Amino acid sequence: MIPIFEPTLTGREREYLLHAIDTGWISSQGEYIARFEEQFAAWHGMPHAVAVSNCTTALHLALDALGVGPGDEVLCPDLTFIAPANMIRLAGATPVLVDVEPGSWAIDPVRLAEKISVRSRAIIVVHPFGHAADMDPILTLAERHGLKVIEDNAEAPGGRYRGRLLGTIGDVSCYSFFANKIITSGEGGMVMTRDSTLDKALRVRRDHGMSRERRYFHEVVGYNYRMTNMQAAVGLAQFERLDAITAERAEQAERYRHLLADPRIAWRPSQPWCDPVHWLATITLRRAELRDPLLAHLKREGIDCRQMVFPVHTAVPYASSHADADFPVSMDISFRSLHLPSSTSLESADLERVCDAVLGWVNLNDSQ
């Protein structure tokens, strides 16, 4: 089976991890946490980065530190993994789902403007599948209505919007280092901000609400959202290779585009104002009824693959208050799209095998 994704651990991951183990610093204190935070922030030109247990906790931490709570509304895209909506709920606020743009698959600024209300407090902007959201109109709306902007950059570290690094544009940004992300620490995440007051609030809440000046004195309700030194050791080694990894991934994307050049198969779109990074190889078929049979065919051929995430509004906790007709773009993209194997360890023969299987099935089942 060609896997959908495997981490490539070819840097100093083993060296750093064994050093953390050999020195006994295996929990939530140790040099690798500080080094990972400092280097991650410096590479982005940001003053503050806070390592956390995963991107989901990063989102909750950001919302809590920004003061989002009961009575508030937070806007987020409908076509995304469900974590942003769930964390808005966990913060006590109401998620307001917004359809996405067909040209970027990110939150649609026009639809966003229509859904802002007097209760709106923040916007979670997801940069999907390595591509930026259209940030300028979003920032204009946020300034006009006094809203905070949280960038969910789990899938696009190193991507740029009009020359600006993603994660450096909003008030706070969140990252994922899960095993299938561009860089990994197994599990793990990061929160970045320029605001020193917010940085302190994030750090206090990450560690049970404990004062940073007075140990075991708890200032606020907090959480155990800490990253371990072992995770940070792996994450730091991965981060040291981020530029090389994204370059390898760009080569893979170009190879896929060449091999799958067929009018019946669309590669995920890209806008001229974005310099995307390649996360998952994603294709969209002409008709929704073709997607699941192709997935089944590929798996029979020994090729792991994944359907696109379902729109958030279709999940049981949110379905009763939303209708499919309100999200035509996210519905269309979701049910026509799938992800192909995307590990950087894949050889040319593997990519050719995947693409031959896709094209062979399309030739038999999607006539012109």
Are 82 and 315 spatial neighbours (Cβ–Cβ below 8 Å)? yes
Query: How does pLDDT run across 113-141, given as a tens digit for each residue?
Result: 999 999 999 999 999 999 999 999 999 99
In whole angstroms, give the CA distance from residue 100 to residue 108: 5
For position 8, what pLDDT does the model report? 92
Q: What are the CA-CA distances from residue 94 to residues 5, 50, 205 (Å)? A: 34, 26, 21
> Has residue 367 got a pLDDT over 90?
no
Residues of the chain with CATH 3.90.1150.10: 242-365
Residues of the chain with CATH 3.40.640.10: 13-239
DSSP 8-state symbol, 228: P
Pairing of strands 337-340, 281-285: antiparallel
Nearest to 17 by CA among 5, 30, 4: 30
Query: How does pLDDT run across 56-103, given as a tens digit for each residue?
Result: 999 999 999 999 999 999 999 999 999 999 999 999 999 999 999 999
For position 368, what pLDDT does the model report? 60
In whole angstroms, give the CA distance from residue 212 to residue 142: 32
Are 326 and 77 spatial neighbours (Cβ–Cβ below 8 Å)? no
> Has residue 208 got a pLDDT over 80?
yes
Q: Provide the CA 30 distance to its chain's centre, in angstroms.
A: 27
Q: Is 115 a catalytic residue?
A: no
> Mean pLDDT across the stretch 145-152?
98
**Can you identify the CATH homologous superfamily of domain 242-365?**
Aspartate Aminotransferase, domain 1 (3.90.1150.10)
Query: Which residue has tokens 């593997």?
Result: 350
Given the residues 148, 181, 200, 299, the one annotated as active site? 181
How many helices (DSSP H) and strands (DSSP E) are in the chain? 13, 14
Percent of the chain with pLDDT strictly greater than 70: 100
Nearest to 342 by CA among 333, 351, 334: 351
Q: What CATH class has 13-239?
A: alpha beta
For position 366, what pLDDT does the model report? 85
Are 242 and 259 spatial neighbours (Cβ–Cβ below 8 Å)? no
Nearest to 60 by CA among 191, 232, 186: 191
Tokens in use for 249?
């991934």
